[in-house]
A and B are shown apart, each in its own frame.
Chain A
Amino acid sequence: MEQAPPDLERQWQPAPLEPLGHTDAGLQAAVGEEAEGSRDEVPGDGTEHALGLGVLMTENNFGLKKIEISVSEAEKRTGRNAMNMQETYTAYLIETRSVEHTDGQSVLTDSLWRRYSEFELLRNYLLVYYPHIVVPPLPEKRAEFVWHKLSADNMDPDFVERRRIGLENFLLRVASHPILCRDKIFYLFLTQEGNWKETVNETGFQLKADSRLKALNATFRVKNPDKRFTELKHYSDELQSVISHLLRVRARVADRLYGVYKVHGNYGRVFSEWSAIEKEMGDGLQSAGHHMDVYASSIDDILEDEEHYADQLKEYLFYAEALRAVCRKHELMQYDLEMAAQDLASKKQQCEELATGTVRTFSLKGMTTKLFGQETPEQREARIKVLEEQINEGEQQLKSKNLEGREFVKNAWADIERFKEQKNHDLKEALISYAVMQISMCKKGIQVWTNAKECFSKM
């Protein structure tokens, strides 16, 4: 199983000095001054991505231009599927704007509609051609970790809205990745509406994909994988498990919190009714009841904001799978290497035995020789020659496999470092914004109850 070599057709430029580490400073500088709401520079993060900016190859091949990508609309469509049956799906409008370097103005350059399956196709393609990259994940296909208010229906407007944001996020991640942003298929995804699917399929990437079975086999049988990848694999398993757990419990917490707030709405009604039979107490009760209604309805916005936090966690949940994919690729390559080395060693031994006449290893030829008589020296010579050729070839292959393997490890690990920085930065930001949400919720609560208390004091 060989790694597809960088294809000049797919990438605009060979980039021998590719910055394999952080996306950071250069991109940062490129978008820096024009960025609104400047954030602290953290190297190797997706800051530019968070600002909605990325880079793309210019048409004239002379370097990268700054772009803005947005998935601005979602539309329900009906069409016919592969089996000529009517189906309903959602299409998303992708708009690409080129940002002028000097004045920061943006100009709409491309605008087309894509559906989720096309995004999936793009990603699968990227997975095959960039196995050493932690490829950004797509938003979930079906709504999971729902709490009772959220619909699990794919057509539900809230789900579609959140998916729209998730898809935009995906594109921005790709566009701000130093290597992925250069990919031609990605470029075409943003610019060529018709015929794109055919173009992707023509690359034949599906054929190049490693079979799942092969990968599984390699995982079990590999003897000497790079320790770092083994550790990384464990980490991604644990990360996936803990984030899943977190999302599940958070959904339950949201459910309960919703219940607490909503029941308070009943106070509004009963205070109002009670106030009708009271003289002095009436006004205070009535206005307090109003505040209880405000309190009860405040939870909807609060929980909607929290969904955004859940989505940020989900992205990293899915990123764990992308990490694992890179580890799997390494194991596959390593296993392949080990098998090749093993094969070469056995051939060498065979050759040696033939040359010296000692039989230490079992071979069919040896057996038949024993059974049917000795072979002629000419026959033996011929066999040795064949073997020597094979050994030569094998040594070449082993050398190149070794080289490939080391290249892979180096490149992959560089991207993993970049990813780690990005992850730490993003998750910190997510936690901060979660804390800010909680603070806002507490302040609202204090406000409402203080108002209610004042009303009660006037009873």
Chain B
Amino acid sequence: MSGGPPKGLPSTGPHSLLDMPHPLAGSSSEEAVGGDSTPSPDLLMARSFGDKDLILPNGGTPAGTSSPASSSSLLNRLQLDDDIDGETRDLFVTVDDPKKHVCTMETYITYRITTKSTRVEFDLPEYSVRRRYQDFDWLRNKLEESQPTHLIPPLPEKFVVKGVVDRFSEEFVETRRKALDKFLKRITDHPVLSFNEHFNVFLTAKDLNAYKRQGMALLSRVGESVKHVTGGYKLRSRPLEFAAIGDYLDTFALKLGTIDRIAQRIIKEEIEYLVELREYGPVYSTWSALEGELAEPLEGVSACIGNCSTALEELTDDMTEDFLPVLREYILYSDSMKSVLKKRDQVQAEYEAKLEAVALRKEDRPKVPADVEKCQDRMECFNADLKADMERWQSNKRQDFRQLLMGMADKNIQYYEKCLMAWESIIPLLQEKPEANGSPLVFIPWWSL
């Protein structure tokens, strides 16, 4: 049922859920991703953690700021993936070299996509094409259409909500580039999606627009069958594991949302702290100008505070560019996953409805009509694909968050180390003895009076 037969890998075709091991299940050496990795429902907490639950020191509400940027751990991820999959990689995709294009109608950015592959699906070993955001958007839509049973990675947001952010600023473009790179790498890593024909064309075609126009006329055959499932069927009972996944995603998205708000609030407070520091340091300089012996020490303190200010600015920049966007990506990810779950429910509902219809008809019981069998197949495939993707997603998520949070800790450590160095270096300056200037007055002890 997946778009395009995956060559070289065992098919996830019609097998019973029970006896088919997923090609990737249990292949991870480090993570114990085995068996049922979904948590049981009683562990899930449906508590919401809204804005008002956020404990803020000044009793204010967190302000929302748009957050561009993406993870900086892609290199690590690339290498780790080798270990996880336990197989040699034969497809490498990179996004880089953003360029601005100014045309009469519009101005936009393109990115260079470099592909290296030994797969037979690729005519050449290497490709280099240029794509813009809307091309990525097109690709994602195509993937959703053609691979409805799979989880498609998210794209960075299309529109910049706050008018403050400059679409062509270096930071924004770099942030977006990282996110797009991540998007393609996630597809590359996927055993089914990476063989998708649209993906192939995206990576290789000189003229993508021609292909796009062509594609509009045809409807993907596979997608059709799933797309045409209307919402008319009522689901009897959702299998426990999928219900659990749904609940998990709900809570997960909530928690991420809260973390996003906290992180934004911290950055805001840090920036305000920075503003005050930038006024604080120079006052010591002003004072230094009044003094004699104290001039150097005071000037030293002023410089020190200046260094700490710079370190803080670096911290807030890093957090804004590298931390926040990954959070948002995962929130988007869980949103799109939820819609895939819904689709799965629909497929199951359709199957159940048809089965019931058959049961009601007084026909030969033992023989199940063909179209009901087809429905069952569809459902079982969907379930298998989804389950496999969930496991893979969980494993990647764990890795991504481990790196993300370690990165956050690292940045804070570096900030404090810079400040520590600054303060430690002025201690000797402060302790310096002044040169003897003039002799003290002659002293006569009182007790001798």
A8 in the interface (beta carbon within 8 A): no
Out of B49, B248, B276, B443, name the residue touching A26 (CB < 8 Å). B443
B306 CB to closest chain A CB (Å) equals 13
CB interface residues, A 1-26, toward B, < 8 Å: 13, 15, 17, 19-22, 24-26
The segment from B6-14, B39-47, B93-101, B342-350 found at the interface with A is B39-47
B429 CB to closest chain A CB (Å) equals 9
Cβ contact within 8 Å between A431 and B290: no
Return the chain A residue nearest B297 by Cβ: A431
Out of B301, B401, B412, name the residue touching A435 (CB < 8 Å). B301
Q: Classify chain B's interface size.
A: 35 or more
Given contacts A273-B49, A428-B430, A442-B423, contact A263 B440 (CB under 8 A): no
What 1/0 flags go to B409-449 for Cβ under 8 Å of A? 11011011101100110110011011000001111111101
Given contacts A64-B447, A249-B280, A257-B273, contact A270 B430 (CB under 8 A): no
Out of B55, B265, B298, name the residue touching A269 (CB < 8 Å). B55
The segment from B77-85, B281-289, B352-360 found at the interface with A is B281-289
B318 CB to closest chain A CB (Å) equals 14
Cβ contact within 8 Å between B416 and A277: no
Return the chain A residue nearest B248 by Cβ: A277
Return the chain B residue nearest A270 by Cβ: B258
The segment from A116-124, A128-136, A211-219, A449-457 found at the interface with B is A449-457
Cβ contact within 8 Å between B255 and A270: yes
CA distance A25 to B43 in the complex (A): 73
A26 CB to closest chain B CB (Å) equals 4
Cβ contact within 8 Å between B398 and A281: yes
B71 CB to closest chain A CB (Å) equals 14
CB interface residues, B 233-277, toward A, < 8 Å: 248, 251-252, 255, 258-259, 262, 265-266, 269-270, 272-273, 275-277
Out of B265, B402, B427, B443, name the residue touching A21 (CB < 8 Å). B443
Cβ contact within 8 Å between A456 and B57: no
What 1/0 flags go to A417-442 for Cβ under 8 Å of B? 00000001001100110111011001
Cβ contact within 8 Å between B262 and A439: no
Return the chain A residue nearest B31 by Cβ: A280
CA distance A258 to B273 in the complex (A): 9
B56 in the interface (beta carbon within 8 A): yes
Return the chain B residue nearest A281 by Cβ: B398
Cβ contact within 8 Å between B401 and A63: no
A29 in the interface (beta carbon within 8 A): yes
Q: Which A residues are in CB contact (< 8 Å) with B165?
A: none
Q: Which A residues are in CB contact (< 8 Å) with B265?
A: 263, 266
Q: Which A residues are in CB contact (< 8 Å) with B55?
A: 262-263, 265-266, 269
CA distance A288 to B401 in the complex (A): 13
Cβ contact within 8 Å between B440 and A253: no
Total count of chain A residues near the partner, CB < 8 A: 77
Cβ contact within 8 Å between A249 and B440: no
Q: Which B residues are in CB contact (< 8 Å) with A115?
A: none
CA distance A26 to B441 in the complex (A): 12
B406 in the interface (beta carbon within 8 A): yes
B119 CB to closest chain A CB (Å) equals 32
Q: Which B residues are in CB contact (< 8 Å) with A270?
A: 49, 255, 258-259, 262
Q: Which A residues are in CB contact (< 8 Å) with B423?
A: 435, 438-439, 442
B169 in the interface (beta carbon within 8 A): no
CA distance A267 to B442 in the complex (A): 63
Cβ contact within 8 Å between B279 and A446: no
Return the chain B residue nearest A25 by Cβ: B443
The segment from A91-99, A237-245, A395-403 found at the interface with B is A237-245
Q: Which B residues are in CB contact (< 8 Å) with A15?
A: 446, 449
Cβ contact within 8 Å between B284 and A435: no
Cβ contact within 8 Å between B283 and A435: no
Cβ contact within 8 Å between B251 and A263: no
B398 CB to closest chain A CB (Å) equals 6
Given contacts A13-B449, A431-B298, contact A276 B43 (CB under 8 A): yes
Q: Which A residues are in CB contact (< 8 Å) with B272?
A: 256, 259
What 1/0 flags go to A23-50 for Cβ under 8 Å of B? 0111001100000000010011000000
CA distance A262 to B60 in the complex (A): 13
CA distance A19 to B442 in the complex (A): 8
Cβ contact within 8 Å between A43 and B294: no
B276 CB to closest chain A CB (Å) equals 5
B37 in the interface (beta carbon within 8 A): yes
CA distance A22 to B446 in the complex (A): 13
B160 in the interface (beta carbon within 8 A): no
CB interface residues, B 25-58, toward A, < 8 Å: 31-32, 37, 39, 43-45, 47, 49, 54-58
CA distance A19 to B424 in the complex (A): 39
Return the chain A residue nearest B279 by Cβ: A249
CA distance A253 to B277 in the complex (A): 6
Given contacts A15-B449, A456-B406, contact A439 B420 (CB under 8 A): yes
CA distance A239 to B294 in the complex (A): 12
A443 in the interface (beta carbon within 8 A): yes
Cβ contact within 8 Å between A281 and B47: no
Return the chain B residue nearest A427 by Cβ: B294
A127 CB to closest chain B CB (Å) equals 24
B405 CB to closest chain A CB (Å) equals 4
Cβ contact within 8 Å between A446 and B447: no
A137 CB to closest chain B CB (Å) equals 19
Cβ contact within 8 Å between B293 and A424: yes
Cβ contact within 8 Å between A428 and B297: yes
Cβ contact within 8 Å between A258 and B57: yes
Return the chain A residue nearest B398 by Cβ: A281
Return the chain B residue nearest A238 by Cβ: B290
Cβ contact within 8 Å between B430 and A253: no
Cβ contact within 8 Å between A279 and B255: no
Cβ contact within 8 Å between A245 and B283: yes
In the complex, 11 of the A-B residue pairs with CB atoms within 8 angstroms, ordered by the A residue number, are A22-B440, A24-B443, A30-B447, A64-B446, A256-B273, A258-B57, A262-B57, A263-B262, A263-B265, A442-B416, A459-B402
- Apart from A40-B433, A281-B398, A453-B413, list 5 A-B contacts with CB within 8 A: A13-B449, A19-B441, A246-B283, A253-B276, A270-B49
Residues of B within 8 A of A (CB): 31-32, 37, 39, 43-45, 47, 49, 54-58, 248, 251-252, 255, 258-259, 262, 265-266, 269-270, 272-273, 275-277, 279-280, 283-284, 286-287, 290, 293-294, 297-298, 301, 304, 398, 401-402, 405-406, 409-410, 412-413, 415-417, 419-420, 423-424, 426-427, 430-431, 433-434, 440-447, 449
Nearest 4 Cβ contacts at the A-B interface:
A21-B441, A453-B409, A256-B273, A262-B57
